[in-house]
Copies of this chain bind each other. A is one copy, B any other.
Amino acid sequence: MTDSNPVSRRRAIALAGVGVAGVAGAAALGGALVRGAVDEHDDPAAGSTAAGAVTFTGEHQAGIVTPAQDRLHFVAFDVVTKDRDRLIQLLKDWTAAAARMTAGQDAGPVGATDGILEAPPDDTGEAIGLPPSGLTLTIGFGPGLFRDAAGKDRFGLAAKRPAALVDLPNFPGDTIDATISNGDIGVQACANDPQVAVHAIRNLARIGIGVVAVRWSQLGFGRTSSTTQAQATPRNLFGFKDGTANLKAEETDAIRDYLWVRDGDGPAWMTGGAYLVTRKIRMLIESWDRTSLGEQEDIFGRVKGNGAAFGRANEFDEIDLTALNGDGDPVIAVDAHVRLAHPSVNGGVKLLRRGYNFVDGSDGLGRLNAGLFFIAYQRDPRKAFVPIQLNLARHDAMNEYVRHVSSGIFACPPGVTGAGDFWGSTLFA
């Protein structure tokens, strides 16, 4: 019985006395223990391709051109400290934890189960035995980090705010809920297993206690965009393929021109980064489901089946916005979604979209609370999301069936390059 006496069940105590944040902060990038060597979870998502690890370090952050994973947990934090050093330490601790978790390790070097009994574990344990599952963690800084709602420059960053990090305008028809919008810091977790994505965000929140607080958070599934040419275009909850012309990782010229921030674009700390816009778009699916197939297709300007634009045979056939039908009317209506969202009517600008479907239960009015959590990365929102969304908000026939209820914009710094580097190092340098 001695072994089982709770008082005597002591574990490795090499790190005794090191608190949660300290443990994470002490961990070298890429160091130490691999999470649960035995895969004890028979999750079908843990297949050979979907289970692997995505490299955390690099010139750019992972989770942007990375082939879109199938599950999302996005979180926006408010920073609740006024202490710049504590914020920097948290970013260092988070970086160490993110490097570990994306490699399939526990959030901290001690782990969920092997610490001393007198201290909280430095990992919460629900991902024990799960493979990396393609986890990426991507951070961005919101306008509030540079100057808070009261106009105060809490962290001495106001002069470093990029002009491209605009306060998004109120677009026509917007019904934004401020309580689930914006935030000082946003983190996108994408993985092929929702438990892995949730575990990552939950542990970042745990590590951040006292420095940040969760402002809002969103789960998503069944990605709505493909970010590589190898990925088929998935279907959104309207049942349509959308985003055929999405910016793909293979389009190196377009990626250079429209995705990554370049030298001279603004403050140097953003070079190699990108701007992230999130929009939670509620779909009025009960109304949509009572709409005729013809009207649905007219709204999109696409055939529902194979996703071909009107006038074309296949999804990836180049769209012809000039074609007229026998009556002399445009084959693709002037208010059709494919027309208004197409780069050729938006000055050639492209967005890299990697959104997700969501269902957040019901709305208390007999309807599912469902839709699209839109995520788009770009070099400059003033030339990309803002004009495109203005165009859509003014003219898109789809507006009858959607409501934008949450909005966020974040400046995502370049990637972490190696040991000693941390999320936001260029901003806080």
How far is B51's CA from A323's CA once the two chains are assembled, in angstroms?
Answer: 42
With A214-B366, A222-B194 known as contacts, the answer to whether A44 contacts B50 (CB < 8 A) is yes
How far is B116's CA from A126's CA once the two chains are assembled, in angstroms?
Answer: 48
Interface 1/0 per residue, A297-330 and B, CB below 8 Å: 1100001110000111000000000011110000
Oligomer: number of copies: 2
B73 touches A202 (CB 8 A): no
B214 touches A195 (CB 8 A): no
CB distance from A210 to the nearest CB of B (A): 10
B195 touches A331 (CB 8 A): no
How far is B306's CA from A114's CA once the two chains are assembled, in angstroms?
Answer: 11
CB distance from A37 to the nearest CB of B (A): 12
B2 touches A236 (CB 8 A): no
CB distance from A109 to the nearest CB of B (A): 15
- Which residues from B are CB-within-8-Å of A357? 126, 195, 198
**Looking at chain A's contact residues, is the secondary structure mostly helix, strand, loop, or mixed?**
loop
CB distance from A17 to the nearest CB of B (A): 13
CB distance from A7 to the nearest CB of B (A): 8
How far is B364's CA from A219's CA once the two chains are assembled, in angstroms?
Answer: 16
How far is B357's CA from A214's CA once the two chains are assembled, in angstroms?
Answer: 19
How far is B292's CA from A117's CA once the two chains are assembled, in angstroms?
Answer: 6
B1 touches A40 (CB 8 A): no
With A49-B44, A120-B293, A359-B219 known as contacts, the answer to whether A305 contacts B114 (CB < 8 A) is yes
> Which of A78, A311, A312 is the most central at the interface, judged by chain B CB atoms within 10 Å of its CB?
A311
B331 touches A4 (CB 8 A): yes
> Which of A201, A305, A312 is the most central at the interface, judged by chain B CB atoms within 10 Å of its CB?
A305
How far is B208's CA from A368's CA once the two chains are assembled, in angstroms?
Answer: 13
A41 touches B234 (CB 8 A): yes
Contact of A44 among B192, B232, B325 (CB under 8 A): B192
Query: Is A166 part of the contact surface with B, judged by Cβ < 8 Å?
Result: no
Binds B, one of A24-32, A85-93, A282-290, A414-422: A282-290
With A47-B44, A232-B40 known as contacts, the answer to whether A120 contacts B213 (CB < 8 A) is no
A70 touches B43 (CB 8 A): yes
With A44-B70, A326-B2 known as contacts, the answer to whether A289 contacts B124 (CB < 8 A) is yes
CB distance from A225 to the nearest CB of B (A): 13
How far is B400's CA from A131's CA once the two chains are assembled, in angstroms?
Answer: 32
A362 touches B215 (CB 8 A): yes
CB distance from A294 to the nearest CB of B (A): 3
Interface 1/0 per residue, A101-120 and B, CB below 8 Å: 00000000000111111111
CB distance from A242 to the nearest CB of B (A): 11
CB distance from A110 to the nearest CB of B (A): 9
Contact of A1 among B179, B206, B325 (CB under 8 A): B325
How far is B73's CA from A274's CA once the two chains are assembled, in angstroms?
Answer: 35
Interface 1/0 per residue, A192-220 and B, CB below 8 Å: 11110010011001100100011111110
A-B contact pairs, 23 of them (CB 8 A): A4-B310, A44-B47, A44-B70, A47-B47, A73-B359, A113-B304, A113-B305, A116-B293, A117-B292, A118-B292, A119-B292, A121-B296, A124-B285, A126-B239, A128-B239, A129-B235, A179-B364, A195-B221, A198-B221, A205-B286, A209-B289, A209-B290, A217-B362
Q: Interface residues, chain A, CB within 8 Å of chain B?
A: 1-2, 4-7, 9, 11, 40-45, 47, 49-51, 70-71, 73, 75, 78, 80, 112-121, 123-129, 179-180, 192-195, 198, 201-202, 205-206, 209, 213-219, 221-222, 230-232, 234-240, 285-286, 289-294, 296-298, 303-305, 310-312, 323-326, 331, 357, 359-362, 364, 366-368, 370
Give me 20 other A-B pairs in contact (C-beta within 8 A), A45-B70, A75-B362, A117-B293 excluded: A4-B311, A4-B312, A4-B323, A9-B297, A43-B222, A44-B50, A73-B359, A78-B366, A112-B305, A119-B292, A124-B285, A129-B232, A194-B222, A195-B222, A202-B285, A202-B370, A215-B362, A216-B361, A217-B368, A360-B360
